[in-house]
């Protein structure tokens, strides 16, 4: 996903001179194409993510559409105060890009397990929260963020993620249909989308599957349609259950039911990380199993 992101950012920057990229002394072998082509719109601020966010806010005040780029928790949780006050409070055009969502950097331990970011950031006003499920989604969302003047968050995997879609046209914040089915529909966000698709197809299940790459603002229009079609929902995410993607789905279903847009409240099973830290290292697949991220 990170390669798809940087390639698309370079393409967008070729005809949009407002795009500026800041990195926190990483991204080597990834960000060079942007840095070499647009040296006057690239800056390595060093291992100082809080300062990076402040610099981004200042550049945005001067008219730039700024992307900050770092690993998982470092451009998000480490500088949450700067995101809230410097960026979101002023509704500035700063896009926070976190590479290594979930357990992508599992071998590096809990400091690199990005498992609370969605829940934390979606509570802050003004920010759009995005978690693409494959490289095509990452590319489409990069274009969307390049054409937005509001704060945004882009949660990426690491590298080598499976392409799930044959083709993709991202329509605003809409959910993306992957498989049509009966009785049960799975809503997935992030890199675990490929696992969900493989599980359904390999087990010949008559389940529907939708990818939800944009968690905030949430697509309640499609959700209403699905809730009137499917009595059973399953959400799956590589994130803590508390306040994560499944919580966003549950909240939206409750809104629809309260406002009488759906007649019955569907059965909802949420699959996510329980209220634990995994305090040992391992591959992404190993840690997913340890956290119970399986149907």
Mean pLDDT by 10 residues, the chain (295 residues): 94 97 88 94 95 98 97 95 98 97 94 96 98 95 96 91 87 90 97 97 98 97 97 98 97 97 96 96 96 97
Same domain, 203 and 75: no
- Residue 260: inside a domain: yes
Which positions ≥6 away from 225 have C-beta within 8 Å?
Answer: none
Note if the bond before 83 is cis, omega within 30 degrees: no
Same domain, 219 and 99: no
Same domain, 186 and 151: no
- The gap from C-alpha 14 to its chain's centroid, in whole angstroms, comes to 25
Say how many domains are in the chain: 2
Structure confidence at residue 28 (pLDDT): 79
Beta strand extents in 41-141 (DSSP E only): 42-44, 65-71, 94-99, 128-130
Structure confidence at residue 165 (pLDDT): 92
Structure confidence at residue 172 (pLDDT): 78
- Residue 171: inside a domain: no
What is the enclosing helix (H) or strand (E) of 233? strand 232-240
Q: Print the domain residue range for 247.
A: 176-291
Helices in 96-165 by DSSP H: which ranges?
A: 117-121, 135-146
- Residue 164: inside a domain: no
Which positions ≥6 away from 214 have C-beta within 8 Å?
Answer: 128, 129, 130, 131, 141, 173, 174
CATH number where 198 lies: 3.40.50.920
Same domain, 124 and 222: no
Structure confidence at residue 160 (pLDDT): 80
How long is the chain?
295
Same domain, 121 and 212: no
Beta strand extents in 65-206 (DSSP E only): 65-71, 94-99, 128-130, 152-156, 176-179, 184-188
- The gap from C-alpha 260 to its chain's centroid, in whole angstroms, comes to 30
Q: What is the number of other CB atoms lying within 10 angstroms of the CB of residue 160?
A: 10
Q: Give CA–CA dist 160/162, Å, rounded.
A: 6
Same domain, 103 and 65: yes
- Residue 161: inside a domain: no
- Residue 139: inside a domain: yes
Structure confidence at residue 170 (pLDDT): 82
Same domain, 213 and 253: yes
Tell me phi and psi for residue 183, to 5 degrees. Answer: 70, -50
Q: Are strands 214-216 and 207-211 parallel, antiparallel or unpaired?
A: unpaired
Q: What is the number of other CB atoms lying within 10 angstroms of the CB of residue 244?
A: 26
- Residue 165: inside a domain: no
Separation in Å, CA 235 to CA 57, 148, 185, 293: 34, 28, 9, 11
Separation in Å, CA 238 to CA 34, 106, 132, 262, 289: 29, 12, 12, 28, 11
């Amino acid at each position: 996903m990170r390669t798809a992101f940087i390639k698309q950012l370079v393409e967008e920057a070729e005809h949009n001179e407002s795009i500026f990229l800041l990195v926190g002394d990483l991204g080597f072998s990834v960000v060079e194409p942007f840095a070499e082509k647009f040296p006057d719109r690239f800056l390595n601020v060093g291992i100082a993510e809080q300062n990076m966010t402040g610099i981004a806010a200042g550049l945005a005040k001067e008219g730039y559409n700024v992307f900050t780029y770092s690993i998982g928790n470092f451009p998000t949780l480490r500088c949450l105060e700067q995101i809230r006050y410097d960026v979101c409070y002023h509704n500035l055009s700063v896009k926070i890009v976190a590479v290594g969502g979930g357990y992508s950097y599992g071998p590096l331990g809990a400091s690199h397990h990005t498992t609370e970011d969605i829940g934390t950031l979606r509570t802050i006003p003004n920010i759009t929260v995005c978690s693409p499920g494959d490289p095509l989604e990452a590319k489409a969302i990069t274009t969307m963020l390049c054409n937005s003047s509001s704060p945004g968050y882009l949660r990426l995997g690491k590298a080598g993620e499976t392409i799930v879609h044959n083709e993709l046209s991202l329509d605003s914040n809409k959910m993306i249909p992957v498989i049509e089915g009966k009785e049960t529909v799975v809503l997935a966000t992030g890199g675990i989308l490929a696992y969900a698709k493989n599980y359904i197809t390999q087990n010949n299940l008559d389940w529907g599957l939708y990818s939800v790459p944009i968690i905030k603002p949430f697509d309640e229009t499609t959700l209403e349609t699905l809730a009137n079609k499917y009595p059973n929902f399953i959400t799956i995410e590589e994130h803590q259950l508390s306040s994560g993607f499944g919580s966003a789905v549950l909240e939206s279903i409750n809104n629809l039911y309260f406002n009488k847009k759906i007649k019955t409240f569907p059965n909802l099973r949420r699959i996510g990380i329980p209220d634990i830290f995994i305090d040992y290292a391992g591959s992404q697949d190993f840690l997913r199993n340890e956290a119970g991220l399986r149907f």
